[in-house]
Structure 1
Amino acid sequence: MLEWDQLLNTDRQRESLGKSLPHRNEFDKDYERIIYSSSLRRLQDKAQVFPLQNNDFIRTRLTHSLEVASLGRSLAWNIGSWLIEEGIFENFYRAKELASLVEVSCLVHDLGNPPFGHYGEDIIRKWFENWFDKDSFIIAQERFGELNEQQKNDFMYFEGNSQAIRILSKLQFLNDPFGANFTYGTLATLMKYPWASNDENVIKKGKKKFGYFYAENDLFEKISEKVGIGKCRHPATFILEAADDIAYLTADIEDAVKKGVFNWEEEYLKIKEKFSDKYDSAFKNLEEYRQQAIKNKVPNKSLIDVQNFKVSIQGIMIFAVVECFKSNYDQIMSGSFKGDLLTHSSAKELADELRNLAFKYVYPNKEVLTLELVGDRVLSDLLSLFVEAVTNVNKLESSKTKHEKLVHIISENFRHIQRFSNEGKLEVDFSELTLYNRLLLVTDFISGMTDGYAVNLHQELLGIKLP
């Protein structure tokens, strides 16, 4: 059985130097550490669904993350209050810790996503899968050492979630090799798939989802020991996932209506006919809002209608998720609960309806597909250029050759992180980097790019435009 005393673990890789205040727990400190970071700011130019938007209404990864954090905090407070009532949490402060833990985890849950949304992950996976079959990979292994199964899988199944762990524990560089130095409790919550890329969950069960890279093996062992999760999901992870689901299921549709992707009135009437009996009160309120909008002759009526719909439906799903957590609490704490809270909740059919609507109209939208194809070309070309560079440069004492110039373009912070040994000492020369670390250097750099930066750098390196 999982234990909350361990699950809410506040230890860090390096002991925190900040002073503790009565109202400010360690998960609040995590929030304050990351809210000012460049890693979080980059999310403002990473696509949620529609890439490279000039319209400031449409959501980016940053605005999506802020909304998920808000929903997650509400879910956690509801669940925390129930845990107090049940005598599982001893006081308000324990519930506050849970709410703070979920909020910060939600805020950073997409931190490791590459440019061009989830399609960016697919592009990276496909590129490496192809490259591992080429002669250039064989030559690179001869020069810099072979990759083991887990190392190869890290790239063939590249995961934004694993990259987020890497950013928070190493890449968000300040003074040492511990990154933002987040608590083990937060890192465990972020780890949606607490196993490695060569685990049987990936190889035998075909999930192709994993929680950490080979480079973070030791960190995972420490997290698992400190938080006591083993290969079980942290209970707060289920809350994070539900908040993410509720946010994107409603917001992606709202963004699509704003862009005129489909006729909201027609689809709303279908949803109303199907669910008005089950959610009578909610749809009565929605009808009142719709009539009020007509009476007041509001502009953009469809957008106002879908926004009211979003708020009502989110309320239904929040209630359903909280009840699902309560009714499945024992299974969640024993690590035997499978799937996600929303799918097992009373709002499953409603969630499925919204998901089907997005798959029908939003994700196949011509603009989305066209810009994803742009992303495919951009990321594939950048991977080809930089992987070729890091596998053809031994020392970095000069920047005379094309490959040396390209390696020098890679963020100095990322190159600096690779200089730390396993003991945390700054003593590794670029010439000593293994093939695995050279490839990590490239994926760290490219996955950290914003959509706009990736496009601009691609155009500059291909000579389409001047720097």
Structure 2
Amino acid sequence: MDGEIMVSSPEQSWTQRYSEFLQGQESRQARIVYQRDRARVIHSASFRRLQAKTQIFGLSESDFYRTRLTHSMEVAQIGSGLVEQLITVGTEGGKEADYLPWLPSMYLIEAICLAHDLGHPPYGHGGEVALNYMMRHFGGFEGNAQTLRILARLGEYTPENGLDLSCRTTLGVMKYPALYNEVIAHNADYQSQLLEPEVTDFRTLQMHRWNPPKSLYSEEKAIFDWVLSPFCESDRNHFTELTMCEGACHNRTRYKALDTTIMELADDIAYGIHDLEDAVAMKMVSRDLWQAEVMEDPVFKQYHLWGEEMTARLFSPSSRARKHAISKMVGLMVESIYIDQNPLFEHPLLRYQAKLAEGESAVLELLKRFVFKNVITIPEVKQMEYKGQLIVLDLFKSLRANPTTLLPRSTYAKYAQAESEQAQQRVICDYIAGMTNTYASRLYAKLFTPTQGSVFDVL
């Protein structure tokens, strides 16, 4: 197989929806299917709720800063730009590259990018950790796993199959193709933690010990198997294998599908550059700090993608100048994309991998570290995340103890019909995970603040 690509039709089985698979129906043409996938995501309640879920800064900070919704839109725009660049590169010199028939269409990559954050709970990673703690004995919680759950089960487009997106769109959204229980089974430290008694005072809970593994829920195993069914057994085995993690951490999958690599590059560019813009606008990072930790860093000095003029524009009092700098940085990253091949895989959707050139990749990682260190993990941001965690934990504890009186009727109907305790807890988890920051804080105030709340409140 070395140097060869398995020959099969780019459309074979990938446009099929799970409902069509279950009913033995033929799938439709790719253009129609992927366009409708994108439409289903855009018109879903989960997508609209992203406008009230945080990206970095709290929603009360300002109307200007990015939310999960605007972030997802930026990822989609960058993703389509990356595909367009790959088409341009792949047709240079009058010869078409072998990977061109396998590139996602603009509809497809935008559907994947717009959907990639649908499963993020209120309060971002903090809410994710809180929900994982409360679900630790019931299949866990993880944002990417929740995204697949929305696509496959919770979305409103079909009664039983969620948004029911096509097989290829679903594959593209699956960043970590392994099941939750299989991942934690390899973590002895985590298994020991699961034997600890439940913390009664959540303020004493060591949140960092309950970071969820990057994975998918066992409840979605059937659709997971369906998405992987077009691949041969060897490809499936390699695609789902885990890397061994040393220390108190979870193992992870090491490989991703072609469309996922494009989406992740777009996500990283948006995180490392667009989120940087918010930090600069809020004056959370100074020009001196930028100079010391980016411009003077050995990695940047080695590749030197831009000069002092970029720094002057980035920290200019003019928002137009700052926007020009951000746009230029994004453009440099997008124009460096290329397709590599992993000979381990037979199928083109796994064999072809989108990557950035060495210099651009190294500088983007530097920018991501800069944002993480000086924005994401500073006490002012982590304090707000911690408050959100406590809200999620207290809401879950109360709903678990009083489902008949506190759950909305439609949610309680699902709870009452659940066939196991794990399924019941998943219903509560789905309800909280679907909340916006605003909804969660209002419900918390209604339940626990004596001077607030009314039977006429519309949350």
Classify the TM-score, shorter chain: 0.7 to 0.9
Distance 1:208 1:115, change over 3 A: closer
Matched, 1:34 2:20: no
The total of aligned residue pairs comes to: 399
Task: Give the whole-Å Cα distance in 2 for the aligned partners of 1:456 and 1:287.
Answer: 41
Q: Which moved more, 1:52-61 or 1:202-211?
A: 202-211
Matches within 5 A, 1:6-405: 9-15=14-20, 24-82=31-89, 85-88=95-98, 95=103, 97-129=104-136, 132=137, 152=138, 154-155=139-140, 158-199=141-182, 203=186, 209-226=213-230, 230=236, 232=239, 233-264=256-287, 266-268=289-291, 271-274=294-297, 275=300, 278-279=303-304, 282-283=306-307, 286=310, 300-301=317-318, 303-320=319-336, 322-323=337-338, 326-328=339-341, 330=343, 341=355, 345-389=358-402, 403-405=403-405
Distance 1:289 1:371, change over 3 A: closer
| Partner of residue 394, structure 1 | none
Q: In structure 1, what residue type is equivalent to 2:375?
A: V
| Partner of residue 444, structure 2 | 458
Distance 1:33 1:174, change over 3 A: closer
Q: Which moved more, 1:250-259 or 1:166-175?
A: 166-175
Kept in 2: contact 1:6–1:227 (CA 8 A): no
- CA positional deviation for 1:227: 6.0
Distance 1:362 1:56, change over 3 A: same
Task: Give the whole-Å Cα distance in 2 for the aligned partners of 1:29 and 1:338.
Answer: 25
Task: Give the whole-Å Cα distance in 1 for the aligned partners of 2:179 and 2:311.
Answer: 49
Kept in 1: contact 2:127–2:392 (CA 8 A): yes
Distance 1:167 1:11, change over 3 A: same
- CA positional deviation for 1:174: 3.7
Task: Give the whole-Å Cα distance in 2 for the aligned partners of 1:66 and 1:453.
Answer: 22
Kept in 2: contact 1:11–1:183 (CA 8 A): yes
Task: Give the whole-Å Cα distance in 1 for the aligned partners of 2:432 and 2:374.
Answer: 30
After superposition, the C-alpha distances for 1:372-404 in whole angstroms (9 at most, x for unaligned) are: 121011001011012223xxxxxxxxxxxxx41
| Partner of residue 431, structure 2 | 445
TM-score scaled by length of structure 1: 0.75
Task: Give the whole-Å Cα distance in 1 for the aligned partners of 2:184 and 2:354.
Answer: 17
Distance 1:367 1:269, change over 3 A: closer
TM-score scaled by length of structure 2: 0.76
Q: Could you tell me which runs of 5 or more consecutive residues in structure 2 were left unpaired when the two chains were aligned.
A: 191-210, 240-255, 455-459
Task: Give the whole-Å Cα distance in 1 for the aligned partners of 2:328 and 2:361.
Answer: 16
Task: Give the whole-Å Cα distance in 1 for the aligned partners of 2:172 and 2:131.
Answer: 25
Distance 1:78 1:368, change over 3 A: same
Kept in 2: contact 1:202–1:208 (CA 8 A): no
- Counting aligned pairs with the same residue, the percent is 26
Query: What RMSD over aligned residues (CA atoms) do the two structures have, in Å?
Result: 3.6
Distance 1:104 1:345, change over 3 A: farther
- CA positional deviation for 1:349: 2.8
- CA positional deviation for 1:171: 1.0
Kept in 2: contact 1:184–1:223 (CA 8 A): yes
Q: In structure 1, what residue type is equivalent to 2:453?
A: L
- CA positional deviation for 1:351: 1.8
